[in-house]
Structure 1
Amino acid sequence: MSGAQEDTSFAALRGQLQEAAAAFADGPDALEGILLGLVDDVDRAVREPLEIFPVCHHSPASATAMARRLREKQPKVVYLELCEDMAPLLAELRNCRLPVAVQAFAGDVEGFPAQWAPLSVVAPVTEASAEYQAIAYALDTPGVELVLVDRSADHVFQWDGGAGPEAGTAGGDDAPKEEEAALHGEAVGVELGGLRPRFAELEEHLLRHGKVRHWSEWWHQYVEVPLGDSDHATYRQVMFLIGSLFRRLAPGEGSRLRVDEDRERYMWTRMREHLAASGTDPRDCLYVCGAFHAASRVEEFGVAGGSDTFTIPPRTATTWQYGLIPSSHAAIEAQFGLAPGSVSIAATEWAKGLRRSRVKPYVLEGQAGRRKSAARKAADAPAVAGPAADRLSGFLRQPPAIDRLDEAELLGWSVEIVRAARRNGYLASTADAIAVFETSILLAGMRDRAKPTPYDFQDAAVTCIEKDSVPGRRDVRRLVEIMMGGDRVGRVGYESLPPLARDVYDRLAPLELKPEQRGVRRALLDMAARPELAACSDALWMLRRLLPQGAVRPIMGERRLGERSVQESWDLSLGTHQRALIELGYEGVSIEQVLEQRLRRDAYGPRATTADVLAAVEDATLYLRGRRLADELGGHALKVLATERSVDGAPEVLRRVRALLAYYRTSEPVLPPWIESFVKTGYAHYCTLLPTAFQDEDATVGQVAAMLGFLFGMEGLALSLGCDRAQLELAVGQSHPGDPSKTALLWAARVRLGTLSRAELRARCDALLDNPLVVPSYPRYLSGFVHALEPVPGLADVVVEAVSNAFARLPDPVLLPWLPLLITTLRSGAAEPAALLVREAGRIFPGRLAALDAWVPPWHASPVPADAARPAPGGPRSRGAALLPRHPAACDAVADLLGCAGEWSGPEASPEGAGGPSGVALLAAHPAACDAVAALLGCEGAWDTGRGADVPGALLTARHPRAGEAWEAVLARS
């Protein structure tokens, strides 16, 4: 460019700025250098042969100016500041409802730190954005080429993790509370033209003197409104000036500025490469970029810049996948730190600006059901961009335009917000509508505005309606945002979904619920009446495993090992969680494939425990047909178990192994080889760790009890597979715990092994109660006994006796202090075994309060001699004898179970004097069992043994446990 051109364009503006610098600066000429540098940046950008179109992201003024300029210029090539590897996806926007975001996703990283995974980059697109106008024009106009020139998604993370001026992560100080604010997840956001001062003092100064609360309101008042109806040259020069100002006042020369300049070098290098390869005239092109990058000072700037001064670094070996995900106004605001409601207000202003300026926007063919208009197809004569005259001087000198008050619009807003407030529980009235109307005008006047902006109206509504309480879940500020257009949420069309998402929608088609719709939909599945719905049920259970909580939620029905419901009810919100469903498509082509990959990743992860691997085995058995994956993961569980040196996961391992064993025993002809090997290996493994676990302070009593539960519960199978019981006996013998709860657990294990009798265990418990030094820690012994019910459930009566003796023998001054400790210990560490203890206590203690006074505890009753005489014929009728005429069939069943043979004898022994089999033999052989069952059935009378001794019925369980179980089963059937 020549000096004559420079003097002609901005000579007057330079002179004015020099005079202003001389008047206000009282030091070196730094201010003059900054002011004149701004003009130089504008002049340089304006004179570039390849027309630069500066924009601001989601700016209605930028979108309107873009639509107007595209119709005037009709460029043949549009260069767009957007990740170049996202170009193939832009054509899919026509199948979506905006706003949506173009996403680049990488689940497995190579060349980046592993803790960064997964990597995600999103570029939101809204209707009220200049980039959408450029995309729609280029894709629907024949002969026009759209070229994306910004760095790739891979370079976003290469260059300081994407910490550029237009990059942000989800969240922010003004992030909305609605769930739509998380639609972008933890993705790095890339926006076109993020324009905001990085100099904190400058932003604070602008907000204070502009009498506004946040940056979005300042931009709307001092940039959007003045530029809304400006001509093309004025718009460009003002945006160049703002971009240059924010760039020159950006603090420091750090990494962020380096990334900015590298991006600009990258984009100009790509444009020059394309121009050289295609031979396109730069005057037929349009370069759409953020105003921050338009006023660039790098050497590579312009088509005549250095062609070999910048080398584009290669990408890493990371494999990137691309797709479209739903977005929303709230998500955009949260990700880029905009004020809540600002994007919705911008969309409203965009629609109003189109009606006022009569500009016809570009809309993709098929977008939102619209058709391409004939006016769009008309081609105007191309406009040639040349050096523009100085428009900045006049724009900066002119006073702000006085926008007349639109009373009808403001009155409509006031009435509508009162109506919305009443629907949401506020006690608003017509008087509040009048107050909002007048307060809006008052606030606008205090802020030097003739016409209230939406932000003035929002403040007035909060002041006049909300007052000091919010009766519903929405405050007045949120109601104003909804009234101004609301949080529009986009949707990706079926044709633009990845194969996995389309397959999910196809599988759920029999439900006829349109799962792509937002909100919660109830689905009822009756597989008994409609067997084809079983495929829908399988898909829903897998989606519940893969998608975030709340996407699919079962209301009725469950799926466990060996159990499948015939009727199910689901709450589905797949439309709300469409982003998560789309990202599943990046991992595979079907949900079965993705589930298998995730199960492998969980099982083979570096921190996977044996419980984690067994959980993966269980999920593979539940959701995937066939045993291939389950057997593979089960074999891996053996390796993980052999490497573990702690017992932290023992309770979970025990629970899952029991469930898998029960399932395989009922559904398979033989046990899988891996689970047999697991039981054998686990038996030896836990025997080895048992002495250490008893002494380890970090190992809890519940974990040690789970180890013993595995050893005793799997003992039969382990011994049949070749394990040696002596190994367990040696492990128990080598255990010497110091903790009272573990000591009680060890005593229970010795009773189970037969090295400690039940009488000796009772004697040790009595000794604990007799020792005043041990009484304070007695609750911990009881905690150990309760945990012992997991490996040794037969000790339930002894534990009930130990607890009862404590309550009976200890005085209140001793009992009451440790009673809260006992309760909290049992609730926190032994909730599940305590249920067995309660059932046993309910069986032993009398069921009625009147019988409690005459009740004698079983452990206080006298034992029956083994050679006790049987009742003489014709003697007093006993409770056992009364059992015969009432329940002869039950007596026969128990007699046969115990191997007693004989015939009914005596007319009084049978209901009608008829003979019957084996009942008398039962009475003679098992008086205690008969006595217990007679008491259970309510048969009165005393059993006469001939020696004056009573045989307590409660000894049935201790002497004849199988008889007790048989009687319970017989009574349940009868």
Structure 2
Amino acid sequence: MSGTHQETFATLRGQLQAAATAFADGPDALEGILLGIVDDVDRAVREPLEIFPVCHHSPASAIAMARRLRHKQPKVVYLELCEDMAPLLGELRNCRLPVAVQAFATEVDGFPTQWSPLSVVAPITEASAEYQAIAYALDTPGVELVLVDRSSDHVFQWDTRGAHATKEKAEADPDAPPVQEEAALHGDAVGVEIGDLRPRFAELEEHLLRHGRVRHWSEWWHQYVELPLGDSDHDTYRQVMLLIGSLLRRLAPGDSPRMRMDEDRERYMWTRMREHLAATGTDPADCLYICGAFHAASPVAEFGVNGTDTFQISPRTATTWQHGLIPSSHAAIEAQFGLAAGSVSIAGTVWEKNLKRARVEPYRLAGQAGAKKPRTRKTAATPAPEVPTSDKLTGFLRQPPVLDRLDEAELLGWSVDIVRAARRNGYLASTADAIAVFETSILLARIRDRAKPTPYDFQDAAVTCIEKDTVPGRRDVRRLVDIMMGGDRIGQVGYDALPPLARDVHDRLTPLNLKLQQRGVQRALLDIAGRSELERCSDVLWMLRYLMPQGAARPIMGERRLGERPIQESWDLALGTHQRALIELGYEGVSIEQVLEQRLRRTAYGTQATAATVLEAIEDATLYLRSRRLADELGTRALEALSAERGVDGAPEVLRRVRRLLGYYRTSEPALPPWIESFVKAGYAHYCTLLPTAFTDDDATADQVAAMLGFLLSMESLALSLGCDRTQLELAIAQSHPTDPAKTALLWAAQTQLGRLTRTELRARCDELLANPLVVPAYPRYLSGFVHALEPAPALTDFVVEAVSNAFGRLPDPVLLPWLPTLISTLRSSGGELAPLLIREAGRIFPSRLAALDEWVPPWRPQPAQEAVPPARHAEARGGCALLATHPETCDTVADLLDCDEAWQATGPSPSGAELIGRHPDTAQALEKLLTGA
């Protein structure tokens, strides 16, 4: 047999040698490359264990695989796929393709922590050779499927370029186009594919694209490999794929890290196959090795069943890997592996056409969602006898290109369909555009030396004829063609293939009566007051909102606050769209409560955790988990974080969260938890120590100093009851000597709150500032400090209103107007607490009617002296006294109400009024109108 193989490619070797001599002026490097390619093909063909080269997501490879499996009926199938993913392949029957097999690790041991989480995915489509092999092996009795590629752990061990190089590059490129939702289904995972056939020599790819008159590699492959191999026999397909793999391999950079990693993968796979053959005693003739064409013609010493056993497989790290299935899509596969947009969809369309034309029955997993029921066979297919392999390369390379006849009906249907789709998406397309697309497709194909327009020619013609200056909708014409050619099929993981956490979420949300696995947004209405069981659904939804990406669970009506119970809620749910995120939660725990607790702990105990972030974790633990145990544990951590802080950056957030937690515990529990009492004591001493430095530190803002004072003054009574000494605060205030106007105003407000400065003295200081021309330009900064002072001293609200009013009345416009944006931004940043205080106090002080403003005198100014009553008012009083004289009891009652003890009597022959009425003429008039009914 060996002699026959040696003579198989003798004719081809002679022709290539003559061509190298003629075109390269001598048999040098070119001859070595061309003859080396033939040697690689000959070596792979002569291997006792049949090597089946494939290209990822290639319909020609899938057709050839289905045909070869039915012909050979191998007993063992070796597949180039991560060996630790084998247990998940059986779950593919519970999914709708395309999906991706995923290995996921959240806690790393042996890798840099910044790489976490680690994720490896291997997408699988129906029009792929690997799916045909998996379906054959799993549904055929007596067939064993063995995955021989490196494990997921070794993927990152050998990744010398960095696990997240792609992610960092995308983050560093602000001009990168936005990633579509369907293209982000794989997240930041590292992709593993079978058969990555693309030139690694940039000049070679450019040369092929230019002379092939195509735009990208996917179009070149479709035109010059996919279509010619679609109807070829097994030997031709196999030798051509080996030839292409050897050519790309020999023209790739030889000493690159990627090439070394590829050679290690080949050593790994052949070592695993020889181990399996030795352990089981299987005849290599009964096996089939499926790998990428790039790896099929390998020069490593470990190649073949008779290769050396010198390769040592390194042990895996201690990282714990979780495995599962996640939904995938054509767009996600194209984005991850650098394929042209729409190429996978076009491949799916070509796959369906090839099945009808070649009449090949593909393999599909029994029970596969969306798959047809397999035909039952009474007897298994009898393998045909093997015949010696002949030279098919010479004939294939010498034959002229196949001139397919133009299918006018198909092209006309495409043209009509694209115009119809364009109209639905807002384009002003007409029948004339359909004719133009039809003729332009034929013209482009002829310009590119093609007898029949390809889908890529049709796509270019549609863009040229229909798309004008702008895109009226959210889809352009190129995207519409992709959808028309098959669309971006999005897979789905079935319920039985979900991890326990995801199944538990679906079970707990069953009372909502929604199809949660369906893609798109669904509205959920929760009448919790009428159906108490929906409160548990509400708890799940709030935890999902916390854990999952934005949009997976979005509340429309309802909120969750400490101490409040929900009554009615409305949610927009898109769990089917974000199925990958829900599945990855299942890798972190068996329930969402466990995952949430782990994340809260990770946040609280992180190296960058501050007192504010720990308090936030405590609030979330109380709000979503209602866990007093976890809150107490994290409270101890909050004390540690506060003691370790040397700055005051987090003071505002600490104050807000401590106030909320104190309010919750005081209303819901009989006594405060020990940790929060300790936190108040420690915070009182901590901020008293930092206060003098913060007043003079330029990096500390007025808002942060105000928050420190708010903590000290608002919690002073609690701190003193717990054993703190007020002398600490008084000494801190006495040692503070700020130079910034805003901080100076804060200090004055604190001194007033402590009783060391009276209101009169504070008002006098402000008057002095306004009277000093040198200080007037800086006066608005003092006012900003007084506004911030409402946080620690809300009792000064009336004084702040007074100070702001005086500023509006006395400051010149060049000083006042530039300050207004600062005032507005201050109130906006603290609008929830400060603005209502000022508005309420201003409404109490200022008159309610505009007409009364002219006569209004502010209460902080001296009131005018009481003027004498005019004669007309005396006359009105006398008229009222005549009536009151006849009703002395009424006048006595009024005198008692006004605390008037003097006796009254009428003077003159007729009642002229009482002494009391003379003092209060307005009261007399009112009583007269009341008694007379006027």
What residue is the counterpart of 2:929 in the other structure? none
Report what 2:300 is aligned to.
Answer: 298
Contact residue 160 and residue 257 of structure 2 kept, 8 A: no
Name the SS for the 2:718 alignment partner. helix
Residue 631 of structure 1 aligns with an amino acid whose one-letter code is D
Letter in 1 for 2:492: R
Q: Structure 1 residues 362, 906: CA separation in 2 closer, same or farther (over 3 Å shift)?
A: farther
> 1:167, 1:612 → 2: CA distance?
30
How far is 1:252 from its partner?
3.7
Q: Where in structure 2 are the equivalents of 1:819-830 lying within 5 Å? A: 819-820=820-821, 822-823=823-824, 827=828
Shift of 1:534: 1.1
Amino acid at match of 2:690: L
Give the Cα–Cα distance (whole angstroms) in 1 for the partners of residues 176 and 329 of structure 2.
Answer: 15
| Aligned residue in 1 for 2:382 | 381
Shift of 1:532: 1.1
SS of 1:560's equivalent in the other structure is coil
Is structure 2 residue 309 aligned with structure 1 residue 312? Answer: no
Q: What one-letter code is carried by the residue in structure 2 that aligns with 1:808? A: G
How far off is 1:786 after superposition?
Answer: 0.4
Partner of 1:90: 89
Structure 2 counterpart of 1:726:
727
Shift of 1:279: 0.7
- Kept in 2: contact 1:80–1:149 (CA 8 A): yes
Partner residue, 2:911: none
Q: C-alpha displacement at 1:626, in angstroms?
A: 3.8
Q: Distance in 2 between matches of 1:638 and 1:211?
A: 69
Aligned-partner Cα distance in 2 for 1:174–1:358? 44
1:487 is aligned to 488
**1:471-486 to 2 correspondences below 5 Å:** 471-486=472-487
Distance verdict in 2 for CA 1:282–1:324, change over 3 Å? same
Would the alpha carbon gap of residues 174 and 635 (structure 1) be closer, same or farther in structure 2, given more than 3 Å must change? closer
CA 1:269–1:721 in structure 2 vs 1: closer, same or farther (change >3 Å)? Answer: same
SS of the residue corresponding to residue 396 of structure 1 reads helix
Q: Would you say 1:30 and 2:29 are equivalent positions? A: yes
Q: Judging changes above 3 Å, is the alpha-carbon distance between structure 1 residues 921 and 851 closer, same or farther for their aligned structure 2 residues?
A: closer
2 CA distance for matches of 1:57 and 1:607? 43
Aligned to 2:400: 399
Aligned partners of 1:333 and 1:340 also within 8 Å: yes
Determine the structure 1 residue equivalent to 2:653: 652
Letter in 2 for 1:548: P
1:657 and 1:828 map into 2 onto residues whose CA distance is: 19
For structure 2, the residue ranges without an aligned partner over 5 or more in a row are: 867-873, 878-887, 902-914, 923-934
CA gap 1:373/1:807 in 2 versus in 1, 3 angstroms: closer
Contact kept? 1:90, 1:135, Cα under 8 Å? yes
Instruction: Note if contact 1:47-1:387 (Cα within 8 Å) is conserved in structure 2.
Output: no
Query: Partner amino acid for 1:907?
Result: T
Contact 1:167 1:188 in 2 (8 A): no
**TM-superposed deviation, 1:863:** 10
Q: CA deviation at 1:193?
A: 0.6
Tell me the residue number matched to 1:750: 751
Name the CA shift for 1:168/1:121 in 2 (closer, same or farther; >3 Å): farther
8 Å Cα contact 1:237/1:391 also seen in 2: yes
SS of 2:492 mapped into structure 1 = coil
Q: Identify if the C-alpha distance between structure 1 residues 810 and 248 changes in structure 2 by more than 3 Å, giving closer, same or farther.
A: same
Residue in 1 aligned with 2:225? 223
Deviations 1:192-233 (A, max 9, x none): 111100000101111111111111111111110000000000
User: TM-score, length-normalised on structure 2?
Assistant: 0.91
Contact 1:405 1:450 survives alignment (8 Å)? yes
User: Matched residue of 1:570: which SS?
Assistant: strand
Aligned-partner SS, 1:659: helix
CA distance in 2, matches of 1:33, 1:920: 124
The structural deviation recorded for 1:669 is 1.1
Whole-angstrom CA distance in 1 between matches of 2:160 and 2:365: 33
Paired residues of 1:175 and 1:340 also in contact (CA < 8 A) = no
Q: What is residue 19 of structure 1 aligned with on the other side?
A: 18
TM-aligned CA deviation for residue 762 of structure 1:
1.0
Gaps of 5+ in 1: 866-874, 879-904, 914-918, 926-942, 951-974
In the alignment, the residues of structure 2 paired with residue 863 and residue 654 of structure 1 have an alpha-carbon distance, to the nearest angstrom, of 45
SS at match of 2:96: coil
Q: Distance in 2 between matches of 1:573 and 1:769?
A: 60
Residue matched to 1:931: none
One-letter code aligned to 1:94 = R
Which residue, 180, 199, 205 being the options, matches 2:207?
A: 205
Residue type of the partner of 2:34?
A: L
Would the aligned equivalents of 1:648 and 1:703 in 2 still touch at CA under 8 Å?
yes
Output the CA distance in 1 between the equivalents of 2:167 and 2:379.
Answer: 40
From the superposition, tell whether residues 922 and 539 of structure 1 become closer, same or farther in structure 2 (CA, over 3 Å): farther
Pair 1:411–1:380, CA change in 2 (3 A): same
CA distance change for structure 1 residues 813 and 43 in 2, over 3 Å: closer, same or farther?
closer
Report the TM-score, using the length of structure 1 for normalisation.
Answer: 0.88
Relative to structure 1, the CA distance from residue 616 to residue 815 in structure 2 (aligned partners, 3 Å threshold; closer, same or farther) is closer
Match of 2:812 in 1: 811
In structure 2, distance between residues paired with 1:817 and 1:861: 31
User: Residue 320 and residue 811 in structure 1: after superposition, are their counterparts in 2 closer, same or farther (change >3 A)?
Assistant: closer
Q: Contact between 1:199 and 1:249, CA under 8 Å: does it hold in 2?
A: yes
2:196 maps to 194
Classify the secondary structure of the residue corresponding to 1:575. Answer: coil
The answer to whether structure 1 residue 691 and structure 2 residue 692 are counterparts is: yes
8 Å Cα contact 2:769/2:776 also seen in 1: yes
Partner in structure 1 of residue 253 of structure 2: 251
Residues 702, 829 of structure 1: 8 Å contact kept? no
Percent identity for Structure 1 against Structure 2: 78
> 1:167 and 1:807 mapped to 2: Cα distance?
57
Q: CA RMSD in A?
A: 2.6
Contact kept in structure 2, 1:162 and 1:188, CA below 8 Å: no
> Match for 1:795: what amino acid?
L
Q: Give the superposition deviation at 1:354.
A: 0.5
The letter of the residue matching 2:58 is S
- Return the alpha-carbon distance in structure 2 between the equivalents of residues 437 and 50 of structure 1: 49
Quote how far apart the aligned CAs of 1:12 are.
0.5
Q: Cα deviations across residues 248-306 of structure 1 (Å, max 9, x unaligned)?
A: 01114021111000000000000000001111110000000000000100000000111
Q: Which residue of 2 aligns with 1:787?
A: 788
* In structure 2, distance between residues paired with 1:655 and 1:758: 28
Report what 1:531 is aligned to.
532
Inter-partner Cα distance in structure 1 for 2:763 and 2:716: 26
Check whether the contact 1:175–1:333 (CA below 8 A) recurs between aligned residues. no
Cα distance between partner residues in 1 of 2:379 and 2:412: 40
Residues 47 and 386 of structure 1 are in contact (CA less than 8 Å); yes or no, is this contact kept in structure 2?
no
Change (3 A) 1:168 1:273: farther
Report the CA distance shift for 1:607/1:820 in structure 2 as closer, same or farther (over 3 A): closer
The CA deviation at 1:611 is 0.9
- Quick check: 1:800–1:837 contact (8 Å CA) kept in 2? yes
Q: Taking structure 1 as reference, are residues 386 and 649 closer, same or farther at Cα in structure 2, changes over 3 Å only?
A: farther
Name the counterpart of 2:439. Answer: 438
CA distance in 2 between counterparts of 1:161 and 1:121 reads: 16
The answer to whether the 8 Å contact 1:51/1:385 transfers is no
Residues 1:626 and 1:115: Cα distance change in structure 2 (over 3 Å): closer
Question: What is the match of residue 56 of structure 2?
Answer: 57
* Residue of structure 1 in register with 2:74 after alignment: 75
Cα distance in 2 for residues equivalent to 1:168 and 1:390: 46
How far apart are 1:378 and its partner, in Å? 4.4
Check whether the contact 2:99–2:123 (CA below 8 A) recurs between aligned residues: yes
> Residues 817 and 80 (structure 1 numbering): CA distance in 2 closer, same or farther, change over 3 Å?
closer
Secondary structure at 2:842 match in 1: helix
Match of 1:701 in 2: 702
Q: Residues 64 and 376 (structure 1 numbering): CA distance in 2 closer, same or farther, change over 3 Å? A: farther
- Give the Cα separation in 2 of the matches to 1:946 and 1:680: 62
836-845 or 490-499, which moves further after superposition? 836-845
**Can you list the C-alpha shifts for 1:484-516, whole angstroms capped at 9, x where unaligned?**
111111110111111100000000011110111
Q: Quote the Cα distance in structure 1 between the aligned partners of 2:42 and 2:483.
A: 43
- How has the CA–CA distance of structure 1 residues 731 and 283 changed in structure 2, closer, same or farther, with 3 Å as cutoff? same
Report which stretch shifted further, 183-192 or 378-387. Answer: 378-387
- Name the residue aligned to 1:671: 672
Counterpart code for 1:266: Y
- Which residue matches 2:514? 513
Q: Do the aligned partners of 1:103 and 1:120 also contact (CA within 8 Å) in 2? A: yes
Q: Which residue does the alignment assign to 1:907?
A: 890
2:329 corresponds to 1:325: no
- The CA deviation at 1:812 is 3.5
User: Which residue matches 2:591?
Assistant: 590
My pick for the range that moved more, 151-160 or 369-378, is 369-378
Please state whether the residue corresponding to 2:700 is helix, strand or coil. coil
AA at the equivalent of 2:890 = P
- Secondary structure of the structure 2 residue equivalent to 1:564: coil
Alignment-derived partner of residue 599 in structure 1: 600
- Deviations along 1:327-356, one digit per CA (max 9) or x if unpaired, are 111110110011111111111110111011
